[in-house]
Homo-oligomer: A and B are copies of this chain.
């Protein structure tokens, strides 16, 4: 490890805000120093409670995360927020969102916020999100709030391995939006019906209950909490349910299993990333790749057979 990396790791462990920001940028961009930084920080982590917050667009996840943050800060807990934002790097959407939210917590050193676009990450979204959480965890944050829109294979995978997964729904969205809840139903530890000042709250709560009665949830079925994130109503109750879930999950061994799931996912993503890099540099360099694409485009070979050819070259077939 270089002296600079060493100093950066030290800075993160000492909870220096600028060191945290710098370390996150380096691991997000997949810089050469990323492996050393993560290697230096990972042993000091594992203490933060990771709360995943997911749900369809427009459900009010960001407001809810902000309200939870204020609540946690009042009880003296430090908070890291990782918002997986489905906007594009080229429009700067994620960065803009960051700035707006930053203002609310700007003077508070106990809160660190990072928005991430879902595209253009080396090694994929799940890998990068995991790295950012490793930095926040090592920097001593008590709680990490991981916010992601509840659609998309990668996005659901990421949030499904949080310590506690909160699924946010709202009454009065269209059928297609409501259909989304099916995909995230099985990963919910706590349900939130947000915008509970709208019509249709009771119906939505009943719908969720009846769906839950058909499913085979491990242990106690998820609680359903109603909130109005814009006013903060119901947010203290939400926190109580999250904390109660954590206590039960700790006792039952479920929390330990979730954390094993999280490190397994991190290992898998790291392996995929490193393997593909090794393959591209040694067994499928740009000129071979172009030739293979030519043959695929001409339909002389199919993708699975082309993949087998590469495996053979590697001695794996």
Contact = CB atoms under 8 A, between A and B. Distances in A.
B91 A177 contact: no
A101 to B, nearest CB: 13
Contacts of A310: 271
Given A118-B183, A263-B303, A151 B152 contact: yes
Given A119-B153, A151-B151, A282-B316, A42 B311 contact: no
B87 A180 contact: yes
Interface string A262-293: 01101111111111101100101000010011
A130 to B, nearest CB: 7
Given A86-B180, A292-B267, A305 B274 contact: no
A247 interface: no
Interface of A: 34-35, 38-39, 41-46, 56-58, 62, 86-88, 90-91, 93, 117-119, 121, 124-125, 130, 134, 149, 151-156, 173-174, 176-177, 179-180, 182-186, 211, 215, 256, 259-260, 263-264, 266-276, 278-279, 282, 284, 289, 292-293, 296-297, 299-308, 310-311, 316
A151 B57 contact: yes
Give the secondary structure class of A's interface. helix
A33 to B, nearest CB: 12
Contacts of A87: 179-180, 182-183
Contact of A307 (B124, B215, B267): B267
B270 A304 contact: yes
Contacts of A282: 316
Contact of A149 (B151, B296, B304, B305): B151
A38 B155 contact: no
Q: Closest 6 CB pairs between A and B?
A: A152-B152, A42-B302, A270-B307, A263-B296, A266-B303, A91-B182
10 contacts: A39-B305, A43-B299, A44-B299, A57-B151, A86-B151, A91-B185, A119-B153, A263-B293, A263-B303, A282-B316
A305 B275 CA distance: 13
Contacts of A263: 293, 296-297, 303
Given A43-B299, A153-B125, A186-B88, A293 B174 contact: no
A41 B117 CA distance: 37
B274 A275 contact: no
